[in-house]
Structure 1
Amino acid sequence: MRLIPSLLAAGLLVTAAACAEPAADRPTVAVITAYLANAATKEVVEDFQAAGEKRGWKVTVTDTAGDFNALNSKMVNAANEKVSAIVLGMGDPQQMGLGLRAAGDASVPVVAIDAAAADGIAANVTSDNDDLGRQSAEALVEAVGGQGRIAMLTHDPHPGVRARAAAAKAVFEKAGIQVVASKHVAVPGPVEAARKVTDDLLTAYTGGNALNGIWAGWDEPALGATQSIEQAGRPDVAVVGVDGQDFALAEIDKGGPFRATVKQDWPGVADKAAAVVDDLLNGKAAAEKQYTLPGTLVTQKK
């Protein structure tokens, strides 16, 4: 029996449409962040994207380059588009109220990565930031010989960095280390910003009041501080960071001012966040409001 060409073509179209249906029905997960320029954020977002795509999701990524008004707007847009879920890539939920309300009104679940537990967020998946702060601070205390003056480079809009800084400061106070300055580092551009801040600190604290160390809340300002210290010819000033990015590990291996970092388990964080989203998409609530993963201290070889 011969098929009429038009009927054959129609049959092929029906078959193609049937094959396309599952792709059309696959969940859409919108990742929205203000910090994609940050190396750690980029890493964990890429890890999450890979984990989501393995599950058959369509994962979109939007960056607002530090603009939280734009971030709220993007969240509202995602909620209005009825995406399957929204994932926040770092940031303070207090700055996302408009977006979280829109997601709640649209019944779109929100999961955060390295942010904070808050109303409107089903779960936050992050590192144990208190422990990251303690480990990094203890490494700096050892690097400066248990005494002296240090400065802290922070970024208060990030809840994780804020928690690390508080835990680190408690370690310094207990050890009798004097914190002479705490400086905000802008994002985007934290390497350059930290380099300029450190230039000013090295000029302000000299002689008997000279700095002995710098604690940075993440690796990029630690790199900027290291560059400033090297330019100033002050290798005696020790630097520690947090994240464990490749560039930080390379600096530590060089044996210069960058003495230590605490490596975060970004693949583990991304996998856990994807598992939580998967549960939510299947009607299962998150077992916890906040999941924390440990970090690993990396220091110079002795």
Structure 2
Amino acid sequence: MKKFVSLLAALTLLLSLAACGGTSAESSAPAEQPAAAEESPFSGKTVSVMTPYMASVTTNQMVGYLENDLTAQGAEVNVIDTANDFAELASRIEDVTASGTDAIVLVSADPTQLENQLREAMDAGIPVFGVDSGYIDGMQVNATSDNHQMGELIAGYLFDDLMGGEGTVITLTHRPHPGVVKRCEAFDELIAANDKLSLITEQHVPAEQPINDAQDIVQNLLLANPDKGSITAILCGWDEPAIGATQACQEAGRDEILVVGVDGNEQAVSLIQEGTNLKATVAQNFQGMVDIVVEDLGKLFACETIATGEKYAEATLITADNAADFIK
């Protein structure tokens, strides 16, 4: 079976190279056949959009943008969700590689956990892109936000503008996600740089039900810290835990606790506008990320060269002052 997959991979790579070569043959083609030159580079292409996190509102949103935009360009889109199961995701990458998909787009998943399978795909000549994922050598592009900068933006606003440079903090994180890791690193650096800030605890929030799980976690922490003023703020790696934390604070009557998140989730923005505990988030430009991937993938299919690596879509801080601008 491995020998067959290797032969199939070699054939795929050969066909891919042939499709982007042969300029002399093209020049000898009859002049009365220009229609193919106007055909979309996506026509006849199959793109596998793969994620373990479709349960996440923002991941679902990005997958939807990808499916709509790629289909509009003429591609056949195969969406695969493995419900937080990375072993299953690795297996499905092997499947689409063996079947000869024309491209893989990984959404909100750490490629280092899938490196062997992605290397097989790349060795077979299949371009691999990421949307709000990490980047490993051999991938084409990971379109994302500058997550470290977003971490600095939201933590800086919380620590300096909302807390006045002092107080106690709880962080809700999910370090398996590469973007959240970078945000957390920024949180860690800013907390360590100010001896008037004290970290009570960092709590991991699972990805399956982040709102409910965060609410439960914060309810327990409020019971352990019952005095008003014992918790100044809750800093969340993304918006869904921030929503859960806000719900827990409201139910407990702890309106003094400040909560912030990242993503620009519509429910989170509404809570900011309503004047709840949730005070700020950072809106990621998910459509902008998808635009980067679709544009570069189209160039590759048209046999053009693209710059590889991390590419950033600009993010925006949302507070009570501008939340209305982000409500649909």
TM-score, length-scaled by structure 1: 0.88
* 2:261 is aligned with 1:235: no
* 2:239 is aligned with 1:219: yes
CA contact (8 A) 2:139 2:308 kept: no
Cα separation, 2, equivalents of 1:294 and 1:205: 37
CA contact (8 A) 1:239 1:258 kept: yes
| CA deviation map 1:78-124 (0-9, x unaligned) | 11110110000011111112320221232211101111120242211
Question: Displacement, 1:45?
Answer: 1.3
Aligned residue identity for 2:182: A
Other-structure match for 1:147: 166
Other-structure match for 2:295: 275
SS in 1 for 2:101: coil
* 2:187 is aligned with 1:168: yes
Other-structure match for 1:259: 279
TM-score, length-scaled by structure 2: 0.82
- Runs of 4 or more, structure 1, over 3 Å off, are 206-209
Question: Displacement, 1:158?
Answer: 0.5
Aligned residue identity for 1:174: A
SS in 1 for 2:193: helix
Aligned residue identity for 1:147: E
Residue 199 of structure 2: which of 179, 182, 187 is its match?
A: 179
CA contact (8 A) 2:228 2:254 kept: no
Cα separation, 2, equivalents of 1:284 and 1:204: 59
Cα separation, 1, equivalents of 2:105 and 2:58: 16
Provide structure 1 residue ranges, at least 5 long, that are not aligned to the other structure: 1-21
CA contact (8 A) 1:75 1:102 kept: no
SS in 2 for 1:96: helix
SS in 2 for 1:300: coil
**CA RMSD, Structure 1 to Structure 2 (Å):** 2.0
Cα separation, 2, equivalents of 1:198 and 1:236: 14
Cα separation, 1, equivalents of 2:107 and 2:240: 17
Question: Displacement, 1:131?
Answer: 1.2
SS in 2 for 1:79: helix
Residue 125 of structure 1: which of 139, 143, 158 is its match?
A: 143
Cα separation, 1, equivalents of 2:304 and 2:219: 51
| CA deviation map 1:24-54 (0-9, x unaligned) | 9611100000111111111111112222122
Cα separation, 1, equivalents of 2:175 and 2:50: 20
Question: Displacement, 1:284?
Answer: 3.0
Question: Displacement, 1:200?
Answer: 1.8
| CA deviation map 1:101-160 (0-9, x unaligned) | 221232211101111120242211100101110111122212223211011111111100
Question: Displacement, 1:209?
Answer: 7.2
Cα separation, 2, equivalents of 1:32 and 1:92: 12
Provide structure 2 residue ranges, at least 5 long, that are not aligned to the other structure: 1-39, 323-328
Other-structure match for 1:8: none
